[in-house]
Structure 1
């Protein structure tokens, strides 16, 4: 086999490389630092290390071929080499490259982030194997000696009367009734309509709906629809020009005709005690309003906690330099961009329309996306380093709980989600996510976080529902949980012993 047919392009900085040589018989390896996040391994494997793999390769091929005059599995290597030149050496190479590459990584304390670009430099009949492997590696990060006491600031938790009014109005709308009215449609009315899109006199495939209920002024369906509906009464129609946001005619002008069948006005209940009893478990509207305010307070508190986590992490990132592998950044950038485009497609919106609504140019969008990706990748490396330094581990209960929560977030069956994670070997990724979460929690709990008014932000005792727990109660609950676990373990022990006895 010739050298060079396993090579891939890679980036090399202009700066002179930093070379380290480490010899650990029988494998000799050298590391060339191409950048803080990329290294080149040069590995030499002596022939005596290759011979077992070559012998195994000849034996494997002998079992697979039929040569006249020889029993299956008894074909000599010389005959195999004559009939299939280089086949055994290729088989042996595939067998030994991976293991020697891993050994070289371990010898030189390198953590790979991707598949390597491998080049076989030398592979003679009786000589050693020499190959190189360029690979993105986990960067070395110098954490401060003490990460406690990081300072961060977040906005105040503030629930306004307008916030409460908006939430109550949304709840009130759920109990409204629609009544037909004999007048032209106006904003806030509900209309029952037919829509039909035509291009060059031909109906657009998938561009027709009938008996559709729509709130005038809501938007988000098709440009120009709200303007066309305003002033139309039941039985009237109108044609306007618009552009479709999905399908084969995205971005092209089409003629859209809308026919109104009903105009309905929403009749809302009075905001009184009767409404409170109908819409909730409370007897009075004052109690309902107070509960809405409290729920908003909890939600704002959780939002503040999320902002605090981001602020603390950002404060540490400002103090630490984290080199980023450009290949990894590019992959993540492409994945994020594709995810945004898919979400917009599901919402029936193009990226161009979204950017126009946001008042953002394509260049601004790309720059913002890249900034967020770089911050996210840097944060992952930083949290991994903290988790390693603190020797943070993950137990089976934490892993199970994390996977169940992820399944619920994605709307999947928990058991099917777990099976998928196991089948596709995604469990290490789940474990790493948990370690990062615990590292971030450790970082945030030791930080000094204040709101805009200068008040300390309570994070350590914040519960998942947004309430603040009493430290004593939290400790008592933890003790009860520990006692329950010990009792369950004690109850399981006799059963386990009985099962073992039965098996014996």
Structure 2
């Protein structure tokens, strides 16, 4: 599997609708055809910044010719009772297969016109095309012309700056015993035993139940699902339900029991991927079907479970995992700085309003990025995403601009991704989560997230390529923290830095998460001030 230009994401036609809390229904990928669109009347117009509207009209004679060609193909292959293969009359073929035949012909015509517009106008497509009214509602009739319109996001044109004049900073960090202890505690929670409970719910408990969402002014629920997961957040922190951030989630469930209906209210953020939630006053009704509480494992239990032999071996394995996570996080910090610097240096006309597709694309990318980091549990990732949905306007504009930059960089450096690289990324995620790679791959496949993994690998390779062309300066953790803490100094002491080109020498630095269970989190831009600083040449 490779991701190549000019189409950066799989071509699918969005049909709308949804059957799961976080993802919309996947539409059908169009079948290939060798026919040309030379008789099609195609118009490509601006539909806003970084978006095009493609309108296609196909003459009646072309429609009729395609239908008759399809009938002839079916006639030569069909076997109907009382007739030899290929000898059934056309009127019987039409009666038997007419609806399916017209639907396939229509889909081929839609795809051909769309591909012709994309190729003839050199459009770099991002995401899926939105068919006006939904492709399932398009119909063709013999003897009549066929028209349709689609809108699609495209990569805008812009010039990249001179990377060699851009300076970024690598923070130098060290893994210490306290970080290893915190990670062992975290792994004990992950490997804990789940016990069914009926009431007296506490922070970190998990529930499965039915959910419905009502919006002010709507007579019927705008969303329902029979098996929605709710994970109560750590004490004093906000939680999320369906990507909606709720400050009082723990108190809403504190006096409930299995079988109860818990009602919560909130306002849908403008950055939510479900358009029907945006800006609406929402009432959430959640019926608890079952609940469970995790009893943490012990270090001795981990040693036995993973056949490690001794506590020293466990600690060494944890240290190696933390060092790998530190290196990955450090690379992420460099990528993020590089994107920020390029962001500041260029202007890109951005959409005034973000589509469901754009928001979903960004949330999927960020979900996989956080999961790959290994510092956050799946529940913590979803809470963070809920927070980001509430920062819709500024955050979405910055992330969309970064997305465009990454696509352009991938083209500039001719970045490709192969199946081996995707498997390696899945294995990294599995290791951080303490799961088997095949289990993680199955989860991703069911959620339709495998293309997102490939996209994340491509983005990282593109960002790494541009980082290698920038000037990197090294800095101890304390100074880095001071630069990224409110009220801290904006300029580090010059004597602590060593300037070098990224491609000339690679310095390995060490970093680990300082959080205990879920109470302390490492930021992608901020390292723990508790970590000692040590530089080690690789």
TM-score by length of 1: 0.51
Q: For 1:195-244, what per-residue CA distance to the aligned partner results, in whole angstroms no more than 9, with x for missing partners?
A: xxxxxxxxx932289xxxxxxxxx95699xxxxxxxxxxxxxxxxxx874
Please identify the structure whose Cα radius of gyration is greater: 1
Is 1:138 aligned to residue 116 of structure 2?
no
Q: Which structure 2 residues correspond to residues 261-272 of structure 1 after superposition, within 5 A?
A: none
Q: Which of 375, 389, 395 is the equivalent residue of 1:372? A: 395
Question: Hey, what's the Cα distance between the residues in 2 that align with 1:382 and 1:61?
Answer: 47
Question: Hey, what's the Cα distance between the residues in 2 that align with 1:380 and 1:118?
Answer: 25
Question: Hey, what's the Cα distance between the residues in 2 that align with 1:158 and 1:406?
Answer: 22
Q: Which structure 2 residues correspond to residues 285-300 of structure 1 after superposition, within 5 A?
A: none
Q: Which of 29, 38, 55 is the equivalent residue of 1:42? A: 55
Is 1:462 aligned to residue 507 of structure 2?
yes
Question: Hey, what's the Cα distance between the residues in 2 that align with 1:393 and 1:171?
Answer: 35
Offset of residue 437 of structure 1: 0.8
Question: Hey, what's the Cα distance between the residues in 2 that align with 1:391 and 1:442?
Answer: 10
Q: Which of 450, 453, 458 is the equivalent residue of 2:493? A: 453
Structure 1: stretches of 5+ with no match in the other structure: 1-5, 9-22, 175-203, 210-218, 224-241, 253-277, 282-287, 355-361, 475-504
1:125 alignment counterpart? 142
Is 1:390 aligned to residue 390 of structure 2?
no
1:311 alignment counterpart? 337
Q: Which structure 2 residues correspond to residues 164-203 of structure 1 after superposition, within 5 A?
A: none
1:331 alignment counterpart? 360
Whose helix proportion is higher, 1 or 2?
1
| Distance change in 2, residues 1:133/1:434 (3 Å) | same
2:42 alignment counterpart? 29
Offset of residue 316 of structure 1: 0.7
- Contact 1:40/1:133 (<8 A) preserved: yes
Is 1:109 aligned to residue 122 of structure 2?
yes
Q: For 1:7-38, what per-residue CA distance to the aligned partner results, in whole angstroms no more than 9, with x for missing partners?
A: 99xxxxxxxxxxxxxx9734442211111222
| Distance change in 2, residues 1:96/1:249 (3 Å) | closer
Structure 2: stretches of 5+ with no match in the other structure: 1-13, 17-35, 187-196, 203-232, 238-250, 265-309, 371-375, 476-491, 512-533
Offset of residue 433 of structure 1: 1.9
| Distance change in 2, residues 1:24/1:77 (3 Å) | closer
| Distance change in 2, residues 1:168/1:336 (3 Å) | closer
Q: For 1:244-289, what per-residue CA distance to the aligned partner results, in whole angstroms no more than 9, with x for missing partners?
A: 447547699xxxxxxxxxxxxxxxxxxxxxxxxx9869xxxxxx9x
- Contact 1:153/1:308 (<8 A) preserved: yes
| Distance change in 2, residues 1:463/1:27 (3 Å) | farther
- Contact 1:148/1:446 (<8 A) preserved: yes
Is 1:402 aligned to residue 425 of structure 2?
yes
2:106 alignment counterpart? 93
Aligned length: 346
Bigger mean CA offset, 56-65 vs 368-377: 56-65
- Contact 2:42/2:57 (<8 A) preserved: yes
Higher relative contact order (CA closer than 8 Å, sequence separation 6+): 2
RMSD (CA atoms): 5.8
Offset of residue 395 of structure 1: 4.4
Question: Hey, what's the Cα distance between the residues in 1 that align with 2:155 and 2:183?
Answer: 52
Q: Which structure 2 residues correspond to residues 7-86 of structure 1 after superposition, within 5 A?
A: 25-46=38-59, 49-50=62-63, 53-59=66-72, 74-77=87-90
| Distance change in 2, residues 1:406/1:52 (3 Å) | farther
